[in-house]
Structure 1
Amino acid sequence: MAKYRENLPQRRGGIFLTDGGMETTLIFHKGLELPHFAAFVLLDRAEGREHLKQYYETYLAIARQHGLGFVLDSPTWRANPDWGAKLGYDADGLKAINMHSIHFLEELRSAWEISGQSCVINGAIGPRGDGYKAGNMDAAEAETYHAAQIAAFAEADADMVTAFTMNSINEAIGVVRAAKGQAIPVAISFTVETDGRLVRGETLRDAIEAVDGATDSACEYFLINCAHPAHFENALGVGEAWVERIHGVRANASIKSHAELDESETLDSGDPADLGRRYQSLRRALPRMRILGGCCGTDHRHVAAICDACMPFQAVSA
């Protein structure tokens, strides 16, 4: 039985940490090969699972140190049919690896929650295509496409699912509908370009209101990920109702554009202290922002700096 599915603790208030840029950390700091940027392949061997365990425990230790809850995301951003096929996984193989990812996180949680803080197990979903390029699915096709991965997470007793690096409103709508069909809580995390808009030009307000309108507001909350705060901080309408639907940020370390990052052969880790200060400012603009983590280029240093900068502020209750 999923521990928190009926009552997500991050919806009740307080700060919850999550991890940083998993794939960039494992590739650039640990020297691991992740074909097609897929971390889930590490679950297939003992050495890979140990790397993942050490990775997660670094962030869990920061949360424990500060007495914070944690949202523990599975390493399955690429574990969907199109990317899975490129990596040699058929439908049965993908179901097995997605379920295994949740059981792997359950072992971590059982050891960590003795600290008394809540740890939410979240099945991570990625876009069908490239997170930096617009997809072409309509909502119905997206619902069908993502349904199998979401069903695997639900069967494995994940507490919730989150679709990260979404740049398509239709794909986000499909994910929410598929999760609703499995009766599992769902969140959507959009990514934006340097102008604070989705790749096709929609604003964050457009995207959030469209998803809520098409799904009867079935999404638990929204996040922003895989963009630097400088790209979207001016796009937030302070005091506007839609902004209260944003409950978390997982920003990139680098201020570079998606195109520049795609072409870069080295890791731009940015400035952890500056990123922490920017999160502090974001929490003033986003009254419901309580889920704090990083994305590409960030590691434990960035998350620790974000945590230190934001700790003096307490999140309001839902």
Structure 2
Amino acid sequence: MARTSNLPHATGRPTVTDGGMETDLIFHRGADLPCFAAFPLVETGEGRAMLTDYYDGYAAIARRAGAGLMLEAPTWRANPEWGERLGYGPDALDRVNTAAIALLAELRERYADGIADIALGGVVGPRGDGYQPDRRMGPDEAAAYHRPQIDSFRAAGADLVTAYTLTDPGEAIGVVRAARAAGLPVAISFTVETDGRLADGHPLGAAIAEVDAAAAPDYFLVNCAHPDHVERGLAESGGQRHRLAGMRYNASSKSHAELDEATDLDAGDPAALAAGHRRLEPLLPRLPILGGCCGTDARHVAALWNV
């Protein structure tokens, strides 16, 4: 297991992470992902081969960029309520969460030649829908809800936990508490709407401050938002910007509501996405982790890294 001191948030080492896994798998690779869930792929040889090919593209970017690599598990939906919809009870979820980290460990060995630092991340997703949050949990409920998945990550040898596409501070605080109880480093990634605020109306900076006051994670990110939308959030973030150590942008500048209604992929333009990120760089002096989210693929991430 990697030491906390070797993780990118601690060293500041530039670190590539992947793009929009689910949209890439569905629209570019023909995968069938009910409930937008990629985790069942780890259970078949064909699925693991598809995931390996997907991760290979980002390892190649890290090599070209001379950067580290954050390998993040396909487990965004592998929590109790989403798992139940797909026929996965507690034991089955433990099995797939463990298998996902095992796959990443195999890939770390595969990529070790040419990439100095590779971290294995267990990915946690929201209990509800990240685009249409339909329920809010208090910190205690959230900690109990997410703890089994985080325990699986710990037992399997993950280096850290990152909770992506969160929409309110309460669930974020619970995830941090669960990860601390399991002894794992943890990062929180909020998503913002077109106005730069969380779906519950929190300004980005206020949400970061609230979580930090209750249960500070190792660092924060923003994901599943276009640079135009992130920029509006940063304008309100003030001194909290220094807590951001990563960005994973959407390719499209459409709102979450518009993307929810879309039947075709809006892949935007990789060069324009990279230009949008460069516009934000002066506001984000500490940003070692950089990748994509919905609609992006290796082309977008390569453009972000200028390789």
Shorter-chain TM-score tier: over 0.9
The answer to whether the 8 A contact 2:192-2:233 is kept is no
For structure 1, the 5+ residue unaligned runs are 312-318
The answer to whether the 8 A contact 1:4-1:120 is kept is no
* 1:203 aligns to 2:187 (yes or no): no
- Distance across 2 between alignment mates of 1:198 and 1:24: 22
Deviations 1:187-246 (A, max 9, x none): 00000110000111100011100000001x2x0100000011111203214993210000
Once structures 1 and 2 are overlaid, which stretch shifts more, 233-242 or 195-204?
A: 233-242
The answer to whether the 8 A contact 1:247-1:291 is kept is yes
TM-aligned CA distance change 1:95 to 1:103, over 3 Å? same
Amino acid in the other structure paired with 2:136: N
Partner of 2:146: 146
The answer to whether the 8 A contact 1:248-1:292 is kept is yes
Partner of 1:279: 277
Partner of 1:126: 125
Partner of 1:164: 164
Cα deviation for residue 10 of structure 1 reads 4.0
Partner of 2:227: 229
Once structures 1 and 2 are overlaid, which stretch shifts more, 126-135 or 94-103?
A: 126-135
Partner of 2:290: 292
TM-score (norm 1): 0.94
The answer to whether the 8 A contact 1:238-1:285 is kept is no
Amino acid in the other structure paired with 1:141: E
- Distance across 1 between alignment mates of 2:119 and 2:221: 16
- Distance across 2 between alignment mates of 1:14 and 1:100: 28
- Distance across 1 between alignment mates of 2:90 and 2:5: 28
- Distance across 1 between alignment mates of 2:237 and 2:225: 22
Cα deviation for residue 11 of structure 1 reads 2.0
Deviations 1:219-275 (A, max 9, x none): 010000001111120321499321000011001000000000000000000010011
TM-aligned CA distance change 1:150 to 1:6, over 3 Å? farther
- Distance across 2 between alignment mates of 1:57 and 1:182: 30
Secondary structure of 1:236's counterpart equals helix
* 1:94 aligns to 2:99 (yes or no): no
Partner of 1:316: none
TM-aligned CA distance change 1:116 to 1:306, over 3 Å? closer
The answer to whether the 8 A contact 1:267-1:297 is kept is yes
The answer to whether the 8 A contact 1:10-1:16 is kept is no
Cα deviation for residue 114 of structure 1 reads 1.9
Secondary structure of 1:115's counterpart equals coil
Partner of 1:180: 180
Deviations 1:27-75 (A, max 9, x none): 0011110010000110110001000000000111111112110111000
Partner of 1:25: 24
TM-aligned CA distance change 1:247 to 1:6, over 3 Å? closer
Secondary structure of 1:114's counterpart equals coil
The answer to whether the 8 A contact 2:204-2:237 is kept is no
- Distance across 1 between alignment mates of 2:298 and 2:169: 31
Secondary structure of 1:111's counterpart equals helix
Partner of 2:59: 60
Partner of 1:37: 36
Aligned 1:103-122 pairs, distance under 5 A: 103-122=102-121
Partner of 1:12: 11
- Distance across 2 between alignment mates of 1:117 and 1:94: 31
The answer to whether the 8 A contact 1:19-1:303 is kept is yes
Secondary structure of 2:265's counterpart equals coil
Secondary structure of 2:119's counterpart equals strand
Secondary structure of 2:112's counterpart equals helix
Cα deviation for residue 294 of structure 1 reads 0.2
The answer to whether the 8 A contact 1:237-1:243 is kept is no
Partner of 1:268: 266
- Distance across 2 between alignment mates of 1:206 and 1:238: 9
* 1:213 aligns to 2:244 (yes or no): no
- Distance across 1 between alignment mates of 2:15 and 2:286: 12
Secondary structure of 1:287's counterpart equals coil
Once structures 1 and 2 are overlaid, which stretch shifts more, 10-19 or 155-164?
A: 10-19
The answer to whether the 8 A contact 2:14-2:289 is kept is yes
Q: How many residues align?
A: 306
Identity level (%) = 52
Cα deviation for residue 14 of structure 1 reads 2.6
